[in-house]
Every structure is written in structure tokens, then in C-alpha cells.
Amino acid sequence: MENKWWKNKVVYQIYPQSFYDYQNNGIGNLKGIIQKLDYLKKLGIEMVWISSFYKSPMVDNGYDVSDYYAINSQYGSIADFEDLINEAKKRNIHILLDLVVNHCSDQHEWFQKALKDPLGFYGDYFIIKKGTGSRPPNNWRGIFGGSVWEPIEGTDLYYYHTFTKEQPDLNWENKNLRNEIYKIINFWLEKGIAGFRLDAISFIKKNPSYESFNADRPDGLVALRTVSINYPGIEVFLKELKEKTFDRFNAFTVAEMSALKPESFSKFIGNEGLFTSVFDFGFMNADLKNSTLWYKHNSFSALDVALPLFKSQEAAQQCDGSLAIALENHDQPRSLNKWFGSTTFSFEQAAFLAVLNLSLRGIPFLFQGQEIGMTNVDWDTVSEIRDAKSLSQYEQAITDGIDPREAFKAIAYRSRDNARSPMQWNDQPYAGFSKNMPWTKVNSNYQSINVQKQESDPDSLLSFYKALIQLRCKSKYSRVFTEGSLVQIFKDKQNLIAFERIYQTQKIHVLLNYSNNDEKIVCDKKPFYVLGNYRSMLYEKDILRLRPFEALIFEVF
Ligand code: NOJ
């Protein structure tokens, strides 16, 4: 198999709980995914990432794994999974699984055994330390808020958790534990999957000092993101992990490495890198503007996007590495709401995001529903929210003195549940996702936004995505998109995100006008129109005029 077999593929992320319910119990399942493989094939997808589907008590929707060798029965069985692999192979679709090994579930047998004997064999699979007096070992704050430490009843010991207290962190310093992890990975690779998305991998190496630092908020705690993330020494773990597992299968890996600086890309991606790819979160979180105050919603400019985006594009290119380019995933609000801050959106706006997602250098990842322009959900009350993170953030906001209505507005906008609403297949009850009441709210706009409506319409967003994927992967321009270099252009134009892609003698320009106003560009030679969200190009007397939110791809000779 060619070494870089993945380079010209577009990846589609499936959130299994919300994709398609073929068994009609209100929850999506593996049989449902099989039913929709032809849909994905027609869209041009050749690789699918399925979010965590292992056995789990579902405190964090499957990212709390209680048995790495079993599939959560609500999704199906190992036999269903094997069917899925076979059916996907028939359609030339590769499958990526989620790998959640920074932590497991408190229901995992390792942790249950550790609780019984915290200083014994399994106790050392976790991070267990003595408190100081009646206080936890240090003042680190976990990703979902609150201390990373949880007391172990009847002892003066605490265990460490980066996420919820039901997700105890695994101790990667322990060789036996690492070997168990390699066994798990090889078990799934042997079943014929193409690779993994590595969950929360930034956190596997802890800052070994375990000391307290100056608090960054009134709660007296300090964010983990500043004291123990991508900690030096992590590369030693990652190298061994790669050698014992992925390398043996020429597997594809994409890492969730938050806060990774472009300066460090060469260590993690590239020909000698530790992963095939890492997500570029710099521009995915442009609306947060580096603030840790998630409830502060900021609008952002083209410049806010362009700065981090081109910095990371350049760094990845320098080390011959591939970034994973995503605008959405199961942890983010819908990109339309984020980028255009409204409740209804135009075709041009949605197609603008499609062009951005699919024309950069790297591996494009699409999230289910993005291809039909699914939007944030019209939440009515906080009781509709299921996501553990949003609920803990809501409580934190109330404790911080935020007005409950404001706090609700903020989570309604940023809640991860926005991405997790059932896929809108048609205009039938429950959006054709299931015949039974789904586990989470269906977006009320499903009658106007759904697959069936767009499938038959050549001018729909779905058709635009198909055309764009075709252009990227199976056209005379494929190599320029999948292998070409990238340089930012028109840097002086504040409203433009613009770049040039070059492969051998072929040169493409991609111009995205992220504003409500026209933008004029001087071009002395008439550009050759390739694709755009206005389906035409306004060019007259050496001037190319970009309309509001116009996204244009053209060839330059
Ligand atoms: C990142 C996952 O994407 C998210 O859904 C989960 O809550 C955390 N990691 C913990 O596994």
C-alpha cells in the first residue's frame, strides 16, 4: 500500500448516537451507518471517523469507556461492526475509530480494582496521591471545571481526572498499562480499520512536579491547559505507542492535541512525525479569541482567522506535515452559527464554509450534517441540554454571578449538544432519523433543511459539497489541492482569507470575502473560473469584484 494512501481523502465524522437509527429505538446505531454508506459514497467520502462507540455508562457520551473490547450495546454488536467494515470496504471507504486512552470510565474493571486497593497493582494504573491536610494534592482545574482531584472514600487519597470525575486518568508512566493499551489498539487494527482519532492525547503526560500554581480565577484553581498539557516527555510515550501499534499497519492517526503551537508541528506531524495529522484548532475556536471565558461570545474578523490559520499552514508545510482541517465536530457549535451569528443562513454563507474547509492544504474533515447546512438547535430550556460539559459550565457561570438567562443563552449557543442533534434525513417526523422519539431534541428546521430535499436539487448545498469534493479528489485539479503548496495572498485586504495553491505548473487562487461588503481586486489577466458559491465571477476591466461572503476558486495562468 502506498505510504501516504490517505492523502487525497476527505474524512466524514459520524456521531453514532445521532446519525441514523435503523432499529427505531431513538438512538443511532451501526446498522444505521451501514444503511447510509451509499449516501457517503455518493458524497465522495472515502474515510469515516466514528466517534467513540465502546461500552460506556455514557456520562460523557461514550468518552468514558468501561470496556475497550466491547461495543456499547445501544449501537450494536461486534458482528455489526464487522459487517460495517466489510460493507465499507466494498465501497472503498476506510474506517477510523476513536481512541480514548487518556482516561477510562470509573466503571472500568481496572478502576474498580484500583478503588479496592489504591496502592496496589491496579492503583498504579491511575494517578493516585495523598492530599495535603484535608485538601487535594494541588490546585489544578480540570477541563470541565472544578478540581482534577476526587477523594477516594475512606482514605486520605485522591485520584486524578482531566474531565469528569467519572473519567479517571490512566497512568501512562506504568508500563503494564501501556502494554494493555497497545493490545487494545492492535485488536481493532487487526479487524481491518484504517486508523484512529486520538482523543485528548495532549494530556497523557502530566507535569511531574504536581505542584500548585498561582490561581487564575476566584475559585483558587489554575487551568490544566496552562500547567500540564503537551508536557515535555509526551513524545517518548507517543513514539513507543506508534512503534508498537500504528506503524505495523501503516495506519492513519489524527490527534486531538489542543494548544499545540505551530513551532512544535515538526515533532508531531511530517514524515518523521508521531502522528499522520493533528487538528488545527487555532481557527476552529476563532470565536473564543483565546479567552477561557466560554460564555463570552465574540464575533471575529477575517484577520482573526487568517493570522492563526496561515501561521499553522506554513508551519505544517515546512515540515511536510498534514493538518486536519475541520470547522465542526461533536464538541463544537455549528459553524454557520459561529461564523455568521444568526439563526437563518444563506446558501452563499454555507457554501463559503465548504470552500474554506475543502481547499486548504491538509486533510479535510466534515462533520455530519455540515453538508446540508445544519444549524444550532433552538433550545427552550436548560433541561433540554444533556452534555455534561455544558451543564457544568452553566453551573460555573451561575456561581460566577452570571444572570441565569444570560448563562442559558451562552450555553444554548456554545453547547456541544448543538452538533449532536439527530441528522436531518427528510421532512418526516423526527427528521427521518428514527421512528421513535430521539434521545435528544431534533432541530425544528428539519422540514426546510434535510438530505432528501437537497439530494434532488442540483443547486443545493449538498450538491455543492459533492462538486467541491469531486474537484478536490477526482478532477484535473486534484493534485494541486491534495499535494500543492499554499501561500497566503492579498494580505493587505483585511476582509479576505485568500491563498494560492501550486502544484508543478498548475496554479489556483482561492479567495474568500468574509464580509458583508464588496471587495475589489486588481487582476490584469482574466482569471479562469473553476468554482464558487455565486456560481459565476464578476470580472470587468481588470477588476475582480467579490460579493458579500463570496468564495471563489479560479485558475491563474
Ligand atoms: C474530547 C472529546 O472529543 C470530547 O467529546 C470528550 O468529552 C473529551 N475529549 C473527553 O474524552
Torsion of CA 44, 47, 48, 52, to 10 degrees: -170
pLDDT tens for 487-506 read 999 999 999 999 999 999 99
- pLDDT of 113 over the 70 cut: yes
| Mean pLDDT, the chain, integer | 95
Quick check: is 256 catalytic?
yes
CA of 463 to the centre of ligand 1 (A): 31
Cell readout for 381 is: 430550556
In sequence order, what DSSP letters do the residues of 151-162 get, joined into one string?
EPTTSSEEEE-S
Unique residue bearing C-alpha cell 510515550: 237
pLDDT tens for 380-421 read 999 999 998 899 889 988 988 889 999 999 899 999 999 999
- pLDDT of 290 over the 70 cut: no
Q: Are 20 and 75 in contact (CB under 8 A)?
A: no
Residues 120 and 493: their CA atoms lie apart, in Å, by 62
How far is CA 133 from each of CA 127, 138, 158, rounded to the nearest angstrom?
Answer: 19, 11, 12
CA of 200 to the centre of ligand 1 (A): 7
pLDDT tens for 172-194 read 999 999 999 999 999 999 999 99
Q: Are 140 and 217 in contact (CB under 8 A)?
A: no
- Best residue for ligand 1 mutational test, from 101, 104, 199 (most atoms within 8 Å of Cβ): 199
CA of 115 to the centre of ligand 1 (A): 24
- pLDDT of 293 over the 80 cut: no
Residues 549 and 516: their CA atoms lie apart, in Å, by 6
Among the options 60, 169, 199, 280, which is catalytic? 199
Measured from the CB, is residue 163 less than 6 Å from ligand 1? yes
Q: Are 43 and 34 in contact (CB under 8 A)?
A: no
How far is CA 461 from each of CA 257, 371, 390, 482, rounded to the nearest angstrom?
Answer: 31, 7, 30, 22
- pLDDT of 321 over the 70 cut: yes
Confidence of residue 296 (pLDDT cuts 50, 70, 90): low
Residues 360 and 279: their CA atoms lie apart, in Å, by 13
- pLDDT of 106 over the 70 cut: yes
E strand or H helix at 478: helix 478-482
- pLDDT of 292 over the 60 cut: no
Residues 6+ apart with CB under 8 A from 190: none
Unique residue bearing C-alpha cell 485538601: 135
Unique residue bearing C-alpha cell 492563526: 308
Measured from the CB, is residue 200 less than 6 Å from ligand 1? yes
Half-sphere exposure of residue 437: CA atoms within 13 angstroms, side-chain side: 0
Q: What is the model's pLDDT at position 220?
A: 95
Unique residue bearing C-alpha cell 479560479: 554
Q: Are 74 and 18 in contact (CB under 8 A)?
A: no
For residues 532-548, give the mean pLDDT.
96
Q: What is the model's pLDDT at position 294?
A: 62
Atom number in ligand 1 closest to CA 103: 11
**Chain centroid offset of residue 411 CA:** 19
Q: Indicate the length of the chain as a whole number.
A: 557
Residues 369 and 97: their CA atoms lie apart, in Å, by 19
User: Left if phi > 0, otherwise alpha if psi is -120 to 50, otherwise beta: which for 542?
Assistant: left
Among the options 60, 64, 150, 256, which is catalytic? 256
Measured from the CB, is residue 204 less than 6 Å from ligand 1? no
Measured from the CB, is residue 500 less than 6 Å from ligand 1? no
pLDDT tens for 255-279 read 999 889 999 999 999 888 899 999 9
Residues 394 and 398: their CA atoms lie apart, in Å, by 6
Main-chain phi, psi angles of 439, to 5 degrees: -65, -20
Question: Which pairing describes strands 195-198 and 252-255: parallel, antiparallel, or unpaired?
Answer: parallel
For residues 216-245, give the mean pLDDT.
96
Q: What is the model's pLDDT at position 297?
A: 64
Single out the residue of 277, 202, 265, 278 nearest to residue 233, CA to CA: 202
**Chain centroid offset of residue 186 CA:** 23
Q: What is the model's pLDDT at position 2?
A: 66
CA of 61 to the centre of ligand 1 (A): 9
Q: What is the model's pLDDT at position 291?
A: 63
Question: Which pairing describes strands 94-99 and 47-50: parallel, antiparallel, or unpaired?
Answer: parallel
